[in-house]
Amino acid sequence: MRVLKHKTCVNKIIDKIDTDIGLIEKIETMLRRFARGTPAAARTQKGRTQASYYNKISALSRSLRRQMVSLRTVIVSLKGLSRSLQKKYRQKIKKLITMQRQVQGISKVNCLLSSTAESKKVYSFIVRCARELLHADICVARIILDHAHTFIISAGPSLSGGLKKKMPLLKQGEGLARLALHIKKPVSIYDMHNDKRAVTKEAIQKTGMRSMLCVPITFLQKPLGVMSVYTKRKRRFSEGDKEVFNTFASQFAMAIQGSRHYQDIHMSYFSAIHALVLALEARDPYARGHTERVTRYALAIARLLHFSPSDTEVLRYAGELHDIGKISIPDFILNKPGKLSPAERVIIQLHPVKGAEVLEPLEFLKTALPIVRHHHERYDGRGYPDGLRKEAIPLMARVLACADSFDAMISERPYRLRSLTIKEALKEISDNAGSQFDPHIARLFIKMIKHESHPQYAS
At residue 166, the 3 state secondary structure works out as strand
What is the C-alpha to C-alpha distance for residues 129 and 117, in angstroms, rounded to an integer?
Answer: 16
Give a yes or no: residue 271 inside a domain.
no
> Which of 374, 355, 351 shows the shortest CA–CA distance to 365?
355
Is residue 303 domain-shared with residue 372, that is, in the same domain? yes
Q: What is the pLDDT of residue 220?
A: 81
Strands 187-189 and 149-155, by their bridges, are unpaired
pLDDT in tens, 303-328: 999 999 889 989 999 998 898 888 88
**Around Cβ 362, how many Cβ atoms within 10 Å?**
17
Distance CA 260, CA 264 (A): 6
Cα angle vertex 404, ends 400, 407, to 5°?
Answer: 140
pLDDT computed for residue 227 by the predictor: 86
Q: What is the pLDDT of residue 116?
A: 45
Task: Judge whether residue 170 has pLDDT over 60.
Answer: no
Residue 60 confidence (pLDDT) above 70: no
Q: Is the dihedral of CA 114, 115, 117, 121 positive or negative?
A: negative
131 belongs to a structural domain: yes
Co-location of 236 and 308 in the same domain: no
Q: What is the mean pLDDT of residues 369-379?
A: 95
| Alpha helix segments (H runs only) across 200-308 | 201-207, 239-283, 290-304
187, part of any domain: yes
Report pLDDT for 209.
Answer: 81
Same-domain pairing of 173 and 131? yes
Torsions phi, psi for 350 (to 5 deg): -85, -10
Say yes or no: 133 and 103 in one domain.
no
Judgement on whether residues 299 and 446 belong to the same structural domain of the protein: yes
Most confident range, picked from 22-31, 49-58, 202-211, 397-406: 397-406
- The number of beta carbons lying within 10 Å of the beta carbon of residue 50 is 18
Q: Are 140 and 152 in contact (CB under 8 A)?
A: yes
Both 217 and 136 in a single domain?
yes
| SS3 assignment, position 140 | strand
Same domain, 131 and 250: yes
Contact assessment for residue 300 and residue 448, using Cβ atoms and an 8 Å cutoff: yes
Q: What is the pLDDT at residue 171?
A: 43
Find which of 74-83, 342-351, 397-406 is predicted with most confidence, using mean pLDDT.
397-406
- Return the exposure string of 219-246: e unless at least 16 CB atoms fall within 10 Å of the residue's CB, then b: eeeeebbbbbbbbeeebebeeebbebbb
Lowest mean pLDDT among 74-88, 284-298, 338-352: 74-88
Q: How many domains in the chain?
A: 3
Name the pLDDT band for 332 (thresholds 50, 70, 90). confident
Query: Which one of 65, 91, 109 terminates a domain?
Result: 109
Query: Residue 266: is its pLDDT beyond 90?
Result: no
**Residue 278 placed within a domain:** no
Closest CA to 102 of 138, 127, 130, 122: 130
Mean pLDDT of 366-375: 94
CA atoms within 13 A on the CB side of 157: 7
Under 8 Å between Cβ of 244 and 102: yes
Do 418 and 315 share a domain, yes or no?
A: yes
Q: Using the 3D structure, point to which of 70, 89, 109 is the last residue of a domain.
A: 109
Q: Is residue 277 part of a domain?
A: no
CA dihedral 375, 376, 378, 381 (to 10 degrees): -100
Higher pLDDT, 157 or 161: 157
pLDDT at 103: 56
pLDDT of residue 393: 96
Residue 442 pLDDT more than 80?
Answer: yes
Same domain, 435 and 344: yes
Task: Please tell me the distance from the alpha carbon of residue 228 to that of residue 251, in angstroms, as a whole number.
Answer: 14
Per-residue confidence (pLDDT) for residue 26, from 0 to 100: 64
Mean pLDDT of all residues in 87-94: 66
Task: Give the C-alpha separation, 128 to 229, whole Å.
Answer: 11
Last residue of some domain: 69, 84, 109?
Answer: 109
SS3 content of the chain, % helix, strand, coil (to 5): 65, 10, 25
Q: How much is the pLDDT for 28?
A: 59
Residue 232 belongs to some domain of the structure: yes
238 φψ region: left (φ > 0), alpha (ψ -120 to 50), beta (else): beta
Residue 92 vs residue 228, higher pLDDT: 228
Percent of the chain with pLDDT over 90: 21
Closest to 296 (Cα-Cα) out of 459, 455, 426, 452: 452
pLDDT value of residue 253: 81
Share of the chain above pLDDT 70, in %: 63
- Do 129 and 21 share a structural domain? no
Q: In this structure, are 254 and 310 located in the same domain?
A: no
Confidence of residue 163 (pLDDT cuts 50, 70, 90): very low
- Which of the residue ranges 7-11, 192-196, 286-290 would you say has the lowest mean pLDDT? 7-11
Q: What is the pLDDT of residue 160?
A: 45
Q: What values do phi and psi take at 276, rounded to 5? A: -65, -40
Mean confidence (pLDDT) of the chain: 75
Residue 395 pLDDT greater than 90, yes or no: yes
Interacting residues of 428 by C-beta distance below 8 A, sequence separation 6+? 409, 420
Rounded Cα–Cα distance for residues 431 and 429 (Å): 6
Higher pLDDT, 430 or 120: 430
Is residue 242 included in any domain, yes or no? yes
pTM attached to this predicted model: 0.53
For 118, phi and psi rounded to 5 degrees? -60, 140
Where does residue 218 rank: exposed (0-12), middle (13-18), buried (19+ CB within 10 A)?
middle
Return the pLDDT at 289: 81
Would the pLDDT of 422 be above 60? yes
Domain with 68 in it? 2-109
Q: Which CATH number goes with the domain that contains 381?
A: 1.10.3210.10
Tell me, yes or no, whether 270 lies in a domain: no
Other CB atoms within a 10 A radius of the CB of residue 305 amount to: 15
- Same domain, yes or no, for 105 and 122? no
Q: Is the pLDDT of residue 385 over 90?
A: yes
- Is the pLDDT at 428 greater than 90? The verdict is yes
